[in-house]
Chains A and B, each alone.
Chain A
């Protein structure tokens, strides 16, 4: 009691000093605690926070390289890059995305598919990076948006270069198109090169030469603030623009061929025999590749798919047709070379052919028969019986072996997409796929290009070019040269020479070619209607391939057959004979007679090409 009432100054000071020391020690403890914490953050976890800090401020922006352009052999632009406007929405800067979309929809057209795509992209977008809502805005839409822009924070225009095909549907099956890159494609390509890219070659040359056309992605390391606004560039690697392609396609010839094909479905391939350069590659009907660049609307795509003619189907490379009579020159050549028939040997044609011990009649297209027929006449008049006889003598093994030399049944290796192999039947093939033996009757119809045999128009054109070159084989290709935009160098594409076909006698080439000349220029030639006013000599062969199997003793009646079931009309040709500049193969689906339908198309195409390049006086 006493102590608590009387102030003891001495004791009080002593007590205070003790407490001050305790306080000082506590201060040391607290400050040490802070230092330990700061040591932990700044020294121990420094690397972690440094990364976070850089993640905060440094963004890697990729710069898309300009895609290489595509030209025809004379420098006409076939694929170019056009500046277009797209509308980007930066979600972080938009309060209410749904409302914004509705409001924007009142100003510009926003389809359901746009919104779907947008929502998908929204899920994987990086913070403060715009997500494309609409691409390819029209000028009207850009203007309308510009006025209302203040109402939409976080909504921006983006200018970009977009692929454009100035020729529209022309040559679409050679060039192909680019489209929005999809997941599967990202897996296929070096995705680091496609960081900034939205498009990739989907089909055709655009896809085949994707790597050259694409170029190399550029990178920009930029510093951004908390709003994601770019403040400065820290580091920059400029993009390397893609290389330009100069195709061997002659755009003028291509257009002529497409025009000549008219409304028919079918295909046409024209090749320069000496080089293998593809001059025209037509598949009818065509389609406009431009909508695919921006993402074709579902309805338009369905319409394309549903159309009976299947415009997207590349008939020139993927279409596998029975070649019909245009195989006859090759069978004939094989017959001569394997000495199964003599140069002057005649076969008597009475309108049909009978296999020994068989009842079945193998008919000639001409009911009355061609009578005495040698190789030249057999080609000119397309006598079936002659080739039944020849095929029977040769047997399927020799036929297979010989036609194989011309590349039938194999891909030619052309530098664009969609090529198929066709089918060159053999005993082995039949055993393998059908597990049955080969029948002699099948050899006969193979002799006239029917039966199992299938070939693509490209194979037909390529084989015709080889024939024109008398055995010198060139790989068909569409790339003539490639131009490096950085160095300015233009590099010619190399001509790939395959192993030449050497016959026992070179005269056999001449014999066959003279027969093909008769087709066009002969009095009885199946394509004589196109031959009378040619200023040069053309070798050709008509073909009419059966689509509809007619029963024994039944008559083929064109009038009463639905168009779908009508024969395909084929024609293969090259000209001039002495110094071949162009080889062509044509198929007009359900066109009927090759001589009447396909041959005139070939005439227009060859005329155009030779007259343009070599003048009217070419021989």
Chain B
């Protein structure tokens, strides 16, 4: 059957917005993303001590990331569905490869170096895992039965374990979450959800047992950062001071003393939120979180309007994963969660995760804009 796709022409806006729509971009989401990344550049300028090189590098990445997003938006969602198993399989192979190389090298091994490009297979898996689970459920009757549920869980656990082994606790948690969200949207029974929660709590000691020393330390430090004020607790203490001293209005852009006098570590990357909170205060924080919230909600709306199960599940999962990013990062920086290496999405300095995120948003837009003409 020949398939015809048309743009979603629900809204009849004019001018620039129409151009966006013509290239399959969702105007509200695109504008929100642009705003967020622009804001991110501003904070980074301050966090990086007004280092122009840093801004140029980050801008280059942003341009690349938006390029990837636009590119993804052009690809019809059916193609993603078609490719999902292969991408997943490739990611698994690469992750295994990384692990083997990691055994040779020492410590955490996350990168594959192809000579011309350095590549983090776990980033690929961030998209591949939800795609795979969504693919798995796409043509099945939903809500899933126990057998399918079990298979889907296995599909989530395999990449999670591989990445946790690297070890990269943050990413593995994100991937587990993204896969789990697909299962949730596919119709995981509420009772099951509840018992799953209970199971996780029960498994906590077991997880603790398999944790690396540094991971355990992080958890302990999280529970009581003042125990080790100059060691592992230092990050959290200084970050809390930065956020707290920002107050309602903040110290003003470029005026954060915690960040500019080097008291705040990792301030361009994982702890950039503390810089923002110090300089823009609680008002700025509310605005920023509102922007994130808008993006998540817009993603969920797109998901609800998706035409098929695959699109729905994938879009829903990607949106919620984005929220998890935010929650884990801000929770960590404000001392609500233990320190796990999760950047503030689209704001923290660093390329790979940004490209992955924008690719995800590209898929969302693709799901939103490529609509099959349905017979009336």
Contacts and interface: CB of A to CB of B under 8 A. Distances in A.
B33 to A, nearest CB: 17
B297 A43 contact: no
A295 B62 CA distance: 65
A111 interface: no
Given A17-B304, A39-B282, A46-B244, A27 B257 contact: no
B159 interface: no
A348 interface: no
Given A8-B141, A24-B297, A42 B241 contact: no
Interface in B142-163: 142-145
A41 to B, nearest CB: 4
Q: Could you say which of A23, A54, A225 has the most chain B C-beta atoms within 10 Å of its C-beta?
A: A23
A140 interface: no
A259 interface: no
B141 A37 contact: no
A285 to B, nearest CB: 55
Given A7-B139, A19-B185, A46 B247 contact: yes
Interface stretch (A28-36, A182-190, A301-309, A489-497): A28-36
B248 A46 contact: yes
B258 to A, nearest CB: 6
A16 interface: yes
B245 A37 contact: no
B245 A49 contact: yes
Contacts of A225: 261-263
Contacts of A106: none
A41 B297 contact: no
Nearest to B250: A42
B303 A20 contact: yes
Contacts of A227: 262
Contact of B141 (A5, A38, A49, A52): A5
B282 A49 contact: no
Contacts of A42: 243-244, 246-248, 277, 281-282, 285
A30 B323 contact: yes
A57 B304 contact: no
B309 A35 contact: no
Nearest to A30: B327
A35 B248 contact: no
B323 A27 contact: yes
A23 B247 contact: no
Nearest to B143: A15
A224 interface: yes
B331 interface: yes
Nearest to A11: B142
Given A50-B245, A53-B241, A16 B262 contact: no
A38 B300 CA distance: 25
A57 B334 contact: no
Nearest to B278: A53
Contact of B142 (A15, A24, A38, A231): A15
A31 B145 CA distance: 33
A6 interface: yes
B142 A19 contact: no
A49 B316 contact: no
B216 interface: no
Contacts of B316: 16, 19-20, 23
Interface in B290-348: 292-293, 296-297, 300-301, 303-304, 309, 312, 316, 319-320, 323, 326-327, 330-331, 334-336
Contacts of A57: 257-258, 261, 263
B342 to A, nearest CB: 14
Interface in B261-284: 261-263, 277, 281-282
A12 B137 CA distance: 12
Nearest to B237: A52
Contact of A45 (B244, B286, B301, B303): B244
A99 interface: no
State the main secondary structure of chain A at its contact with B: helix
Nearest to B142: A12
B242 interface: yes
Residue from A8, A28, A226 whose CB has the most chain B CB atoms within 10 Å: A226
A52 B241 CA distance: 7
B253 interface: no
Nearest to B330: A34
A20 B187 CA distance: 11
B202 to A, nearest CB: 22
A17 B244 CA distance: 39
A500 interface: no
B184 interface: yes
B247 A43 contact: yes
A23 B303 CA distance: 12
Nearest to A56: B263
Nearest to B317: A23
A37 B282 CA distance: 11
B218 interface: no
B263 A226 contact: yes
A34 B336 CA distance: 8
A6 to B, nearest CB: 6
Contact of A27 (B141, B247, B297): B297
Contacts of B323: 27, 30-31
Nearest to A226: B262
Contacts of A45: 244
A37 B336 contact: yes
B140 interface: yes
A13 to B, nearest CB: 8
8 contacts: A4-B145, A7-B142, A12-B187, A15-B187, A23-B300, A38-B285, A41-B243, A49-B245
> Which 6 residue pairs of A and B lie closest in terms of their CB atoms, listed nearest first?
A49-B244, A53-B245, A226-B262, A225-B261, A41-B244, A42-B282
Interface of A: 3-8, 12-13, 15-17, 19-20, 23-24, 27-28, 30-31, 33-35, 37-39, 41-43, 45-46, 48-50, 52-54, 56-57, 223-227, 231
Given A41-B335, A42-B244, A53-B242, 17 more contacts: A16-B312, A16-B316, A30-B323, A31-B327, A34-B330, A34-B334, A34-B336, A38-B282, A42-B248, A42-B281, A45-B244, A46-B245, A46-B247, A49-B241, A49-B243, A53-B241, A223-B257
